[in-house]
């Protein structure tokens, strides 16, 4: 049997973390078994479906490198096929026309609730002739579900789960305007696509009981179902906006790498021993449903930050620079010059050790993106205008005009300078750091000097001396 999975989001919003994990699990399962991964847009809710949401879903999947096989299927384009299945069931006596009005349905539910029963449709039109139908009431089509016994799901994650058929009413297949319901459309489309495994969130488990009854009525073999645990926040509550960004595209904009997001999502409910860092190749080789747990998984920013920092460090500097460029153009608002690219490429190895996201990395890289004179904050000016600091920078300048411009030579030169004056090296490094970067924190001062180069470094130090004297 060739494995076929599908990801079927409703285009009523962006691609959220929970949906992205569902897509990832389906993609990995298909790739692991050398099968097919399909994408279907379930846009039967025309009022809430938007083109912007469809675009966001595509962008999110493409950013995560979750490629799909075959053309995307838009469910609304298949409404005639869905309706045909419902009408076939009516012809076979497995479904019927229901003429109950909204008021009558509300009364049925209220009566059931008053008796302590599930509020559901009571099957009034189940065995009545359409000839008794009131005039002017367009009917819906309802499925005749079993009224006795149980419906069983042999779920690949949740195990055997049953529901008494008395808890389920005759569900609507076609609305009164002739449009198919979600339940009908999903079953028809999964059958037509030969889907073998439906991997989705645990919140769909109750839908599966109804869909299995529909498969049975249509005489079709049902796929295997795997309902994966929901994602909770660090506080144990269901993941929501109050826990932070929930859209995949938001995490992209916050400076997280797709490798880190996928690794993080993979570990939410699935594991492979104690392995925490799992490459895409390993995930494809190792992934199977057997190791998906039943308990809700907790999403924690600290774990994502750790993973993102790891992947940033393991990328080559050239690859990381390409990922970083969109974040660099925001603070400086100009295209990167060749000089800036050269500086960044040289300085990235030090910068990336101190950042958890591309946004942080871009902020830390800002001193490499400007040329003297650099803008100094009030905090920087308060350091530079101290006479001792100004004098120290002036004393260092002549040394920097002659020293060999390498990291090692610069370190030897400046440490000797501090030792000869019997002062701690920090007393030298910190004023130089403020003068060269305008920041309190940066990579080592030798790395900053080496990255900026002699000409730019000397120009910045001279300007810092003049600025300190002016504000002193």
Element (H, E) at 51: helix 51-63
What whole-number distance in Å separates Cα of residue 431 and Cα of residue 423? 13
Q: Which residues contact 433 (CB under 8 A, 6 or more apart)?
A: 439, 440, 441, 442, 445, 448
Q: How many CB atoms lie within 10 A of CB 274?
A: 5
Residue reference for tokens 């690219």: 341
Longest dimension (CA), the chain: 108
DSSP string covering 131-185: GGPPTT-PPEEEE---SSSEEEEEETTTEEEEEEGGG----EEE-TTSPBPHHHH
Q: Name the DSSP letter for residue 95.
A: E
What whole-number distance in Å separates Cα of residue 80 and Cα of residue 179? 9
Helix extents (H) in 233-316: 248-253, 258-266, 280-286, 301-314
List 177's β-bridge partners, or say none.
Answer: none
Buried b / exposed e along 331-358 (16+ C-beta atoms within 10 A): eeeeebeeebeebbebbbebbbeebbbb
The catalytic residue positions are: 241
- Calculate the CA 337 to chain-centre distance: 32
Q: Which candidate, 283, 382, 350, 336, places its Cα nearest to that of 65? A: 283
Contacts made by residues 88-95, CB under 8 angstroms, sequence distance 24+: 88/218, 89/141, 89/143, 89/173, 89/217, 89/218, 90/141, 93/144, 94/143, 94/144, 94/217, 95/141, 95/142, 95/143, 95/144, 95/173, 95/217
Q: Which candidate, 100, 156, 107, 139, places its Cα nearest to that of 123? A: 100
Token pair belonging to 379 = 């905090």
């Amino acid at each position: 049997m060739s494995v076929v999975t599908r990801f079927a989001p409703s285009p009523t919003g962006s691609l959220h973390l929970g949906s992205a994990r569902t897509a990832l699990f389906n993609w990995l399962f298909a790739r692991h078994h050398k099968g097919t991964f399909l994408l279907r847009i379930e846009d039967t809710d025309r009022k809430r479906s938007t083109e912007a949401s469809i675009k966001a879903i595509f962008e999110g999947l493409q950013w995560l490198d979750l490629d799909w096989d075959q053309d995307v299927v838009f469910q609304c384009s298949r409404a005639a096929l869905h309706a045909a299945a419902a009408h076939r069931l009516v012809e076979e006596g497995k479904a019927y026309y229901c003429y109950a009005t909204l008021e009558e349905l509300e009364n049925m539910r209220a009566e059931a609730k008053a008796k302590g029963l599930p509020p559901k449709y009571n099957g009034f039109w189940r065995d009545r002739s359409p000839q008794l139908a009131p005039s002017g009431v367009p009917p819906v089509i309802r499925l005749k579900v079993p009224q006795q016994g149980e419906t069983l799901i042999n779920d690949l994650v949740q195990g055997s789960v049953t529901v008494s058929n008395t808890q389920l009413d005759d569900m609507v297949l076609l609305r009164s305007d002739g449009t198919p319901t979600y339940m009908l459309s999903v079953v028809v489309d999964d059958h037509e696509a030969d889907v073998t495994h439906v991997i989705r969130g645990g919140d769909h488990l109750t839908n599966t009981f109804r869909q299995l009854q529909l498969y049975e009525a249509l005489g079709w073999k049902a796929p295997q179902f795997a309902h994966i645990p929901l994602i909770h926040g660090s506080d144990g509550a269901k993941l929501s906006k109050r826990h932070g960004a929930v859209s995949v595209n938001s995490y992209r904009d916050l400076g997280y790498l797709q490798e880190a997001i996928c690794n993080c999502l993979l570990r939410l409910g699935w594991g492979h021993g104690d392995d925490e860092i799992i490459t895409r190749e390993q995930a494809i080789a190792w992934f199977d449903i057997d190791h998906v747990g039943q308990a809700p998984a907790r999403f924690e920013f600290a774990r994502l930050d750790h993973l993102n920092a790891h992947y940033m460090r393991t990328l080559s500097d050239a690859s990381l620079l390409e990922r970083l460029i969109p974040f660099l153009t925001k603070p400086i608002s100009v295209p990167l010059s060749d000089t800036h690219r050269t500086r960044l490429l040289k300085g990235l190895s030090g910068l990336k050790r101190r950042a958890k996201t591309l946004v942080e990395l871009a902020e830390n890289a800002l001193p490499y993106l400007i040329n003297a004179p650099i803008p100094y904050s009030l905090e920087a000016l308060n350091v530079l205008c101290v006479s001792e600091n100004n004098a120290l920078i002036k004393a260092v300048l002549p040394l920097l005009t002659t020293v060999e411009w390498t990291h090692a030579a610069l370190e030897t030169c400046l440490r000797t300078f501090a030792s000869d004056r019997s002062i701690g090296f920090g007393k030298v490094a910190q004023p130089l750091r403020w003068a060269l970067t305008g920041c309190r924190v940066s990579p080592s001062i030798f790395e900053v000097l080496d990255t900026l180069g002699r000409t730019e470094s000397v120009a910045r130090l001279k300007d810092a001396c003049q600025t300190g004297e002016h504000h002193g």
